[in-house]
Amino acid sequence: MLFTEDNANKKRKCCPLCGSQNIYNRKLFERDFSEAGDMSPFRRYQVYCCSKCGMLYAGDLEETMPLNDYYRKMSKYDDNPESWDGDDYSLRVQEFIADSGLQKTSKIIDVGCGAGYVLRQLKKAGYTNLYGLELSEANCRYLQNSQGICTFNGGIGDWSSGVAKHSFDVVVLKGVLEHLMSLYDDVLFCAELLAEGGRLLLACPDVTNFPRFRDCYQQLSSEHINYFDTNSIVYLCAALDLELIEFREVGLFRPATYSECSMWMFGKGTGKTLKYGNVAGEDSMVLYLSQCGNQLKQIRERYSSYYLADGFYLWGAGTLAATLFQFGILNKNLIRAVFDSNTNYHGHLAYGHPVQSPQDLQKMKRFPILIASQTAFAPIMGQITAMGLNNPIIDLFS
């Protein structure tokens, strides 16, 4: 039986899968988000590899607030949902469901559905019996009122939401597993929502894919505290009597956003357990960390090539900004103001300043703008152009 933490507020002094204590496990890396204030759910954590089961996870967590409170108050996924026009990741999930042979009338729920990207993709493909479970009230209202999708307001394990009165042919967790504090209890809750013959579809970052990307510790973000490979996914689900019946990489057939992710389909009593070879999650993580160190060195050199004695604006208050502070590249004394497009961040103190809307830049003195985002660099540049700003740009990646 898997280890179960009796309180989700614990700081994880042991492996969330098997219970092996951190003092016996291998410490690979430390993350520090303390300069981000309450815009990160954790001040810092250690990345461990379990010596017993091989699970890679964040331990010794220092919380700023309970995770469910963080997602209710600080969600990045309830901002401007109307702008969504489809995405590769949601399309891959929809294709995975379609290829499993399920009818368009199958009862499907997306757990932690955010603004409903998967549900809206399924609706577009003709599926008619769709449900969501979501912490953000704004997202629930949007899906109910604008998309006509029944959405329960609550989190995993929240019996008061009413979701447990239902059973489903497919339970989807896309981009959720990597965020969960109590893995066993949370996945058990989802598995108990399955109808007879139902399928559990798990989609999340796959640590064996991390070395494909030249990012700077982005996979070890302020919210991601579990780092799965197929071994650990199967270990987790086997304790719930769930069998792996299909596996896919999100970006296997054609390039996609979130190509670091994989998808696993599980069922109960299918007799179709998929055979898979050995995977080396720890080796992949160690290689990824080495590559991140090299990327950080290049960023440091590029940053030092700019003359910034008069200060600059920081655009992007998330994971990369925290990384640049953790490794001493950025100095609060040089930052004139901090901006981020996430409206839930506005007014919160981070990196020595209250976070402001990028629109405020139009009425502020002209200083260079450091774009602290690798994945959103191009969209931010587009926004800067659209706003008519002519501030010099500090580009850490070109």
Whether residues 224 and 358 fall in one domain: no
Residues 280 and 312 in one domain: no
pLDDT the model gives residue 10: 52
Q: Residue 333 burial by CB count (10 A; 0-12/13-18/19+): exposed, middle or buried?
A: exposed
**pLDDT averaged over the chain?**
89
Amino acid at 328: G
DSSP H helical ranges for 242-394: 281-304, 319-326, 377-386
The count of domains in the chain is 2
Q: Which residues of 61-70 are buried (b: 16+ CB within 10 A; e: fewer)?
A: bebbeebbeb
d(CA 224, CA 31): 11
Residue 250's pLDDT is 78
Q: What is the mean pLDDT of residues 171-189?
A: 94
**Do 155 and 91 share a domain, yes or no?**
yes
Phi, psi of 170 (to 5 degrees): -140, 130
> Is 93 a domain residue?
yes
Q: What is the reported pLDDT for 256?
A: 47
pLDDT band at residue 327 under the 50/70/90 scheme: very high
Indicate the pLDDT class of residue 372, thresholds 50, 70 and 90. Answer: very high
In a domain, 300, yes or no: no
In a domain, 102, yes or no: yes
Query: Residue 360 carries which DSSP code?
Result: G
Please, are residues 133 and 156 in contact by the beta-carbon 8 Å criterion? yes
Answer yes or no: do 120 and 265 share one domain: yes
Answer yes or no: do 94 and 170 share one domain. Answer: yes
Nearest CA to 155 among 190, 122, 184? 190
- Judge if 210 and 132 occupy the same domain: yes
Nearest to 19 by CA among 179, 282, 239: 239
Instruction: Supply the pLDDT for residue 385.
Output: 96
**322 and 279 in one domain?**
no
Question: What are 109-125's pLDDT values in tens digits?
Answer: 999 999 999 999 999 99
Query: Taking a C-beta distance cutoff of 8 angstroms, is the pair 15, 194 a contact?
Result: no
Q: How confident is the model at residue 341 (pLDDT cuts 50, 70, 90)?
A: very high
Phi-psi region of 101 (alpha: psi -120 to 50; beta: other; left: phi over 0): left
pLDDT of residue 200: 96
Residue 109 β-bridge partners: 131, 171
User: What is the pLDDT, as a whole number, of residue 254?
Assistant: 47
Cα 188 to Cα 268: distance, rounded to the nearest angstrom: 13
40 lies in some domain: no
Residue 153 belongs to a domain: yes
Reported as a pLDDT band with limits 50, 70 and 90, residue 6 is very low
Answer whether residue 15 is part of any domain.
no
Relative to beta strand 194-205, strand 168-174 is: parallel
Q: Is the pLDDT of residue 398 over 70?
A: yes
Contact yes or no for 361/313 (Cβ under 8 A)? yes
The verdict on 253 and 352 lying in the same domain is: no
pLDDT higher than threshold 80 for residue 278: no
Q: What is the pLDDT of residues 145-177, one digit of tens each?
A: 999 999 999 989 887 788 888 999 999 999 999
Residue 196, pLDDT above cutoff 50: yes
- More reliable by pLDDT, 160 or 329: 329
Over 70: is that where the pLDDT of 259 sits?
Answer: no
Question: The tokens of 103 are what?
Answer: 């009818």
CATH number of the domain within which 342 lies: 3.40.50.720
Q: Considering only CA atoms, which of 296, 331, 292, 295 is closest in space to residue 314?
A: 331
Together in a domain, 193 and 223:
yes
265/385 same-domain check: no
With 90 as the cut, is the pLDDT of residue 261 above it? no
Q: Which domain, by its residues, includes 240?
A: 73-285
Higher pLDDT, residue 383 or 88: 383
pLDDT bin (cut points 50, 70, 90) of residue 277 is low
* 175 found inside a domain: yes
CATH number for 109: 3.40.50.150
Shared domain for 275 and 347, answered yes or no, is no
Question: Is the per-residue pLDDT at 257 higher than 60?
Answer: no
Task: For 204-236, write each residue's pLDDT tens digit.
Answer: 999 999 998 888 999 999 999 999 998 899 989
Q: Report pLDDT for 280.
A: 79
- Domain assignment present for residue 34? The answer is no
- Evaluated on CA atoms 127, 130, 136, 138, the torsion sign reads positive
- Between CA 31 and CA 322 the distance in angstroms is 9
Residues 202 and 350 in one domain: no
